Structure 1
Amino acid sequence: METMGCQMNVADSERMEGQMADLGIQKTEDKTEASVFVLNTCSIRDHAEQKVYSYVGPYAIRKQKGENIAIVVAGCVAQQEGEKLLRRVPEIDLVMGPQYANRLGDLLEDVMNGNQIVATDPSLIMEDVSKPRRGSSTCAWVNIIYGCNEHCTYCVVPGVRGVEQSRPKESIRQEMVELAAAGYREVRKEFFL
C-alpha cells in the first residue's frame, strides 16, 4: 500500500488495508514480494498522473515477466483518469475512485477471478463494516461526510470524491465509542473530503 496526498487518503488506505487483512492478504515491507500492490493517489500536485505511472511501472514490469501480482490504482487520480490509466498501463487490474474504498475486498475478489475493473461511476457510499488497519495507536480518523456539494474554483473534491454523503449519527458515535474503549486518545474527523 502506497498512499499519496491528504489525510482522507490516509483514512481510506487504513480502511483498504483492513479489508485486505480480512481477505488474508498480509502486509510486506519487501515490495518485491508483494502479490497485491495498491496505490492510493492524489490529484492535487502538479504531474500527479506522471507520479502514478512511475510508482506503478516496476509492478507492471513484474507482471509482464509473468509474476502473479494484482495492481490497483485507487483514489483521486484513479477517479479523474479512469480508463485512460488502463490504456496507458494495461497491466493495471483495478482502477477505483475514492467512493469505492469501502468495497476493495469485493473488487479484489473480481480481480482474482480474472477481471479487469474500472470502478469510477458515482456511487452511494455503503457503511463500512470492516475494521481499518490504523497507522497509529493514539490517533484515529473517523469519517463524518464523504464528498462535497460545493464547487469552489480551487477545489477538486466534488469532481473526484463525489457528492456529499453523510454517515448516520449513530454509526459515527458507535465508532468513536469503540475507539475510546480501544485506548485511542485522539479522534480526527473528516468533514469535506
Structure 2
Amino acid sequence: MIIGIGKSPLSYFVWKYMSEYIYNPLYPYPLFYDAKRDLLTSKLAYIDYLRRLQIKRNEVKIAVYPDYVLPHESRVNLSLLKSIEFIVPIHSLEKDITIVEELQEMGFKVYYGYASDKRYRSYTLSEFLSIKGRKWYLGISTMREFEEALRYNFDGIDITGYLLGNHKIRKDSERLKRRVEELIIKVKQKRITDFIGKSY
C-alpha cells in the first residue's frame, strides 16, 4: 500500500526526517499531488491545476485527477502527463467510471478513488469494492478509516495530519515520527500477512 501525503507541514517533515521511507511506502508532496482547494475555486480551475501538474510532471508520480472532468473534454493536453498515475475521485459509480475508462484508453495508469466523506459519494463501500481495478482511499483522517483501508486491501491511501494525532503531537517531531512509523509498520505487516496468506 502506498501512503500519499499532500502539500503540508507533514510532507516537508517526511522529506527532512524520514527520507528512508520515501517510495517505501511514503509518497510525500510533490511525489503525491493533490491541490483540492485549487480545484474548488471555479469550474475551469482544473485547467490551472493540470497546467501546474504539467510543470511538475518530472517530480509527480501520483496525482488526484480533477473531479468530473472527462478527458476528451479537457482543455489541457493530457499526453504530457503520461508519466503520472491518476487517482480518479469516484462520486458516482455510474458517471465517474467513464473518466477512468477514458484515461485508461489513453494509456494512463489509474486508481479508483474512494471518498472517505460520505457526502461526496453516492454508493457504499461494498459497492465500491466490487469495482475491478486499483483502489485508493482518499483523505484518511481517522484510524478507523486507515484500518478500513488496510482490511479491504486498498492499493493506496492519502492521509491528513489529523490521522497522526492532535496539534500538540504533530508539533513534537519525535512523537510525530513515531506515529508515522507506526503506520508504516502496519502497512508492512499487512503486506507480509497477505504474502503468507497467498503462499498457502
What's the TM-score bracket when you normalise by the shorter of the two chains?
Answer: 0.3 to 0.5
Highest RCO, 1 vs 2 (Cα 8 Å, sep ≥ 6): 1
Instruction: Give the alignment's TM-score, normalised by structure 2.
Output: 0.32
Instruction: Give the alignment's TM-score, normalised by structure 1.
Output: 0.33
Structure with a larger share of its residues in helix: 2
